[in-house]
C-alpha cells in the first residue's frame, strides 16, 4: 500500500525514573514538544524506546498513554516486532486494539532466519491485523537483512505500507527503492542518510535526532519535498555534528543524555545499557552548544 505516511517521524525515547518506572509526566511533555514542532508521526516502543527491557504491562501502559495523549494530532505508530512471530502478532493485535494508526515491525532478531523466514514473518503479522505495517531493516542490530528481492515480495502484501531502511548501504537502499516503487513507500531510518534517502524518493523519515531537533528535522523533509536541495543540504550539514555525537554509543544512550542536557528529563537507559561516558558527554554538549541549543549544566 502507498501513502500511509509522508513527513517527519520521531522514534521516541521512553523516559524512566531513577527507580526504573516509566516517567509518564516527562513522556507526555516530550509528545507535546514533538507535536508543537510539526512532527507528523510518533513512533512509540521502537528501538529508541527500549521495549526490549520493558515488561508487557509497561509496554501496554505506554501504548495506551501515547494514543490518548496524542489524540489524533499526529500519526501514532507502535513498535511490535519480535524475534518470536507469535509474540509479534500478539503485540500487533494489542496495538490495533489500543487505537494505533500503524505498526513498525523490526525483523526477527538473533534467530537469524532465512529470507523466506523474513517474508513469512511479515505475512503472518499482516494477516493478523488490518493496520498498515512498516517493515524495519536494521541488520547491525538484528543480524538479518531484508534483501531488495525479499522486500519486493513483501511489498505485495496488502497492508505493508513501507520499509524503514537503516541497513547503511545506499546501494542496497537504492535497489530496494527501485523494486518497491509504486507498491509501498521507503522511509529513512538512519539520520546520517535522511537527505539521500529522501532525495531518492523516500516518503519520509523516522529519526532519533528529532527527539531533540524536531523542527529542524521537519524542515529538512520539507526542503527536499519542495525540491530545494541547497537548503536541505545546509540544514543537514548543520545537524550532522549533533547526529555524529548521538551515535558515539549505542542508541538511545546518547539521545537520552542530550534530552537531559536540554532539560527534557530523558532519564537514564535501562541495563544492560549504561549512561553516556564522560568524554562522549562533553563532545555532545559542545555540539549542542555550537548548534545554538541552550544546554543545562
Which residues participate in catalysis according to the annotation?
A: 136, 164
Segment holding 207, helix H or strand E: strand 204-207
* CA pair distance 276, 142, nearest whole angstrom: 22
**Cα–Cα dist 64/95, whole Å:** 9
Task: Characterize the bridge pairing of strands 7-11 and 75-79.
Answer: unpaired
Q: Find, among 248, 268, 273, the residue nearest to 257 by Cα.
A: 268
Angle among Cα 97, 101, 60 to the nearest 5 degrees reads 45
Cell of 145: 537483512
Contact between residue 42 and residue 69 where contact means Cβ atoms under 8 Å apart:
no
35 torsion bin: left (phi>0), alpha (psi -120 to 50), beta (else): alpha
Closest CA relative to residue 124, chosen from 103, 142, 149, 100: 103
Distance between CA 129 and CA 96 in Å, rounded? 7
Residue 244 CA, chain-centre distance (Å), reads 17
Query: Residue 239: CB partners within 8 Å, gap ≥ 6?
Result: 191, 209, 213, 216, 217, 220, 291
Grid cell locating 67: 494514543
In angstroms, the CA 12 to CA 27 distance is 9
Amino acid at each position: 500500500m502507498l501513502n500511509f505516511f509522508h513527513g517527519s517521524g520521531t522514534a521516541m525515547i521512553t523516559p524512566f525514573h531513577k527507580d526504573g518506572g516509566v516517567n509518564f509526566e516527562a513522556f507526555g511533555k516530550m509528545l507535546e514538544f514533538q507535536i508543537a514542532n510539526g512532527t507528523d508521526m510518533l513512533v512509540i516502543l521502537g528501538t529508541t524506546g527500549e521495549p526490549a527491557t520493558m515488561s508487557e504491562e509497561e509496554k501496554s501502559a505506554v501504548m495506551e498513554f501515547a494514543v490518548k495523549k496524542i489524540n489524533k494530532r499526529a500519526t501514532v505508530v507502535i513498535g511490535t516486532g519480535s524475534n518470536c512471530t507469535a509474540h509479534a502478532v500478539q503485540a500487533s493485535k494489542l496495538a490495533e486494539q489500543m487505537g494505533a494508526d500503524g505498526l513498525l515491525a523490526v525483523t526477527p532478531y538473533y534467530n537469524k532466519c532465512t529470507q523466506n523466514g523474513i517474508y513469512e514473518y511479515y505475512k503472518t503479522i499482516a494477516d493478523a491485523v488490518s493496520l498498515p505495517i512498516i517493515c524495519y531493516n536494521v541488520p547491525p542490530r538484528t543480524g538479518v537483512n531484508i534483501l531488495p528481492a525479499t522486500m519486493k515480495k513483501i511489498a505485495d502484501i496488502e497492508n505493508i505500507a513501507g520499509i524503514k531502511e537503516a541497513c547503511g548501504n545506499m546501494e542496497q537502499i537504492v535497489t530496494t527503492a527501485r523494486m518497491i516503487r509504486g507498491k509501498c513507500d521507503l522511509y529513512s531510518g538512519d539520520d546520517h542518510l535522511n537527505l539521500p534517502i529522501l532525495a531518492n524518493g523516500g516518503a519520509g523519515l523516522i529519526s532519533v535526532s528529532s527527539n531533540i531537533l524536531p523542527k529542524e528535522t521537519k524542515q529538512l523533509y520539507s526542503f527536499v519535498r519542495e525540491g530545494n536541495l541547497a537548503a536541505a543540504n545546509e540544514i543537514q550539514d548543520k545537524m550532522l555534528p549533533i547526529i555524529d555525537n548521538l551515535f558515539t554509543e549505542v542508541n538511545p544512550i546518547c539521545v537520552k543524555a542530550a534530552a537531559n542536557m536540554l532539560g527534557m528529563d530523558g532519564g537514564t537507559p535501562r541495563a544492560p545499557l549504561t549512561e553516556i561516558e564522560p568524554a562522549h558527554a562533553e563532545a555532545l554538549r559542545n555540539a549542542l552548544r555550537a548548534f545554538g541549543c541552550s544546554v543545562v549544566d
